[in-house]
Amino acid sequence: MKHVDEFRDPSRARSLLDQIRRQTTRRWVIMEVCGGQTHGLLRHGIDLALEDTIELIHGPGCPVCVTDEAKIDRAVRLSMTPGILLASFGDMLRVPGTSLSLAAARAEGASVREFYSPTDAVTYAAENPDQHVVFFAVGFETTAPATSLAVLQAKKRGLRNFSLLVSHVRVQPAMELIMASEANRVEGFLAAGHVCCVTGFAPYEDFAGRWGVPVVVTGFEPVDLLLGIAECVDRLEHQKSGVANCFGRSVALEGNRNAQSVVDDVYEVCESRWRGLGVLCEGGFRLREEYREFDAEFRFPEQSGKASEASGKAVTPVIFSTCRAGEVLSGRIQPCACGEFGSGCTPEHPLGAPMVSSEGACAAWFRYRLRSIGS
């Protein structure tokens, strides 16, 4: 693997900026799909450096941000159930559901613990047989292999006290939704490099062809981001759609077959509700029938909320009605267009998930752009 300094080289970055400015004949609209890329673009000032030539808009690629409120409510209910420990990645703890976040539930006495990896949660379950550990399995195709492995480990160890609350989502259906919208302005995509490490980029060929857009697999360092933008601009200027890989040091056409295999073994594709975007056909994963015993929604149907939904009871209304996360996540507005940004909503007192998550677009704007907006 090439040394990462090569992709932080200021002179190479300046040269790519010049190349993009020279080549651009009109202001193209390009969406970076991944929240990590959003933070990289803002942290390095690439969006400002190119604002006269490119409009960069932020996509829905922050897994914490798109986790459905109802799913967080289920996690909260599970955490309040005697005998259950709700295990989660740290970012998920502060994201509000329809009423409480997991952190708020913990403050009220619920059993919630942060884990760095799902397999650590399996180990904890093995060492604490008196507790049932429910791991909140959140994230894109990137984290699904690790939660698949956790299930396989739990099965191999014969654990009866470990399960997953699954909320994994898939990137491409969200891109389909954005392109299908009548309000869509996106003309080219920077595809999320880490997701493509797992999936490869072959699946984007059909998407790019059908919608007639360039899709450029892009990394996270400043030169990676500029290489992706330059390739996307080149294709837009030459009316050339299709897929290009500008993250070749990590991504291969077919992706990581071992990771795909373990995910395919444990999960199947399903319809999924995304926060702010609604129900997406093939938008997520669920555990396969043969792993049902590790599905917290099957093991604890009442606490998971399945019973009340099945009986037709309405889900609790959203409290934070002023939050415009759905518009931010689909690229319809920038965070600064939300009336709560920086005043009613801050990282210390977030009203919505994009301000909580370390990959959220609102958090990125607060961290890197608030001063320039105010000045």
CA angle 357, 363, 369 (to 5 degrees): 165
Instruction: Say how far apart CA 206 and CA 209 lie, in whole Å.
Output: 5
Joined tokens for residue 98: 């329809």
Q: Is 340 in the site for ligand SF4 (CB under 6 A)?
A: yes
Q: Please select the residue that binds ligand SF4; options are 50, 138, 323, 364, rule is CB under 6 A.
A: 323
- Looking at beta carbons, which residue is closest to ligand SF4? 352
Length of the chain, please?
375
Q: Which is nearer to ligand SF4, 61 or 219 (CB)?
A: 61
- The window from 14-22, 172-180, 210-218, 324-332 that contacts ligand SF4 (CB under 6 A) reads 324-332
Mapped onto helix, strand or coil, the DSSP state of residue 137 is strand
CA angle 127, 158, 267 (to 5 degrees): 110
Q: Torsion angle, CA of 87/145/266/253, rounded to 10 degrees?
A: 160
Q: How far is the CB of 50 from ligand SF4 (least distance, A)?
A: 23
Helix boundaries (H) for the chain: 10-23, 35-43, 46-49, 69-79, 102-107, 118-127, 144-156, 171-180, 193-199, 203-211, 222-237, 257-266, 296-299, 301-304, 306-310, 325-329, 353-356, 361-368, 370-374
Q: Which is nearer to ligand SF4, 255 or 335 (CB)?
A: 335
Q: How far is the CB of 355 from ligand SF4 (least distance, A)?
A: 4
The answer to whether residues 145 and 263 touch, using CB atoms and an 8 Å cutoff, is yes
Q: How far is the CB of 338 from ligand SF4 (least distance, A)?
A: 3
Q: How far is the CB of 298 from ligand SF4 (least distance, A)?
A: 32
Q: How far is the CB of 94 from ligand SF4 (least distance, A)?
A: 12
Question: What character string, x for contact with ligand SF4 (CB under 6 A) and - otherwise, covers 271-310?
Answer: ----------------------------------------
Q: What is the DSSP letter of 256?
A: -
Q: Which is nearer to ligand SF4, 283 or 360 (CB)?
A: 360
Instruction: Say how far apart CA 85 and CA 303 lie, in whole Å.
Output: 13
Q: Which is nearer to ligand SF4, 253 or 373 (CB)?
A: 373
Q: Is 355 in the site for ligand SF4 (CB under 6 A)?
A: yes
Q: Is 338 in the site for ligand SF4 (CB under 6 A)?
A: yes
Q: Is 328 in the site for ligand SF4 (CB under 6 A)?
A: yes
Q: Is 72 in the site for ligand SF4 (CB under 6 A)?
A: no
Q: Is 69 in the site for ligand SF4 (CB under 6 A)?
A: no
- The window from 100-108, 259-267, 304-312, 332-340 that contacts ligand SF4 (CB under 6 A) reads 332-340
The answer to whether residues 300 and 283 touch, using CB atoms and an 8 Å cutoff, is no
Q: How many residues bind ligand SF4 (CB under 6 A)?
A: 14
Q: Which is nearer to ligand SF4, 194 or 369 (CB)?
A: 369
Q: Which is nearer to ligand SF4, 119 or 346 (CB)?
A: 346
Q: Which is nearer to ligand SF4, 219 or 335 (CB)?
A: 335
Which residue in the block uniquely carries the two structure tokens 């932020």? 58
Q: Is 229 in the site for ligand SF4 (CB under 6 A)?
A: no
Joined tokens for residue 68: 């459905």
Q: Is 80 in the site for ligand SF4 (CB under 6 A)?
A: no
* Ramachandran class of 67: left when φ > 0, alpha when ψ lies in -120 to 50, beta otherwise: beta
Q: Which is nearer to ligand SF4, 235 or 324 (CB)?
A: 324
Q: Torsion angle, CA of 63/188/6/199, rounded to 10 degrees?
A: 50
Q: Is 93 in the site for ligand SF4 (CB under 6 A)?
A: no
The answer to whether residues 59 and 195 touch, using CB atoms and an 8 Å cutoff, is no
- The window from 119-127, 186-194, 310-318, 350-358 that contacts ligand SF4 (CB under 6 A) reads 350-358
Q: Please select the residue that binds ligand SF4; options are 167, 341, 359, 368, rule is CB under 6 A.
A: 341
Instruction: Say how far apart CA 109 and CA 363 lie, in whole Å.
Output: 28
Q: How far is the CB of 346 from ligand SF4 (least distance, A)?
A: 8
With residues binned 3-state (H G I as helix, E B as strand, rest as coil), the percentages for the chain, rounded to 5, are 45, 20, 35
The footprint of ligand SF4 (CB under 6 A) covers 323-325, 328, 335, 338, 340-341, 345, 351-352, 354-355, 362
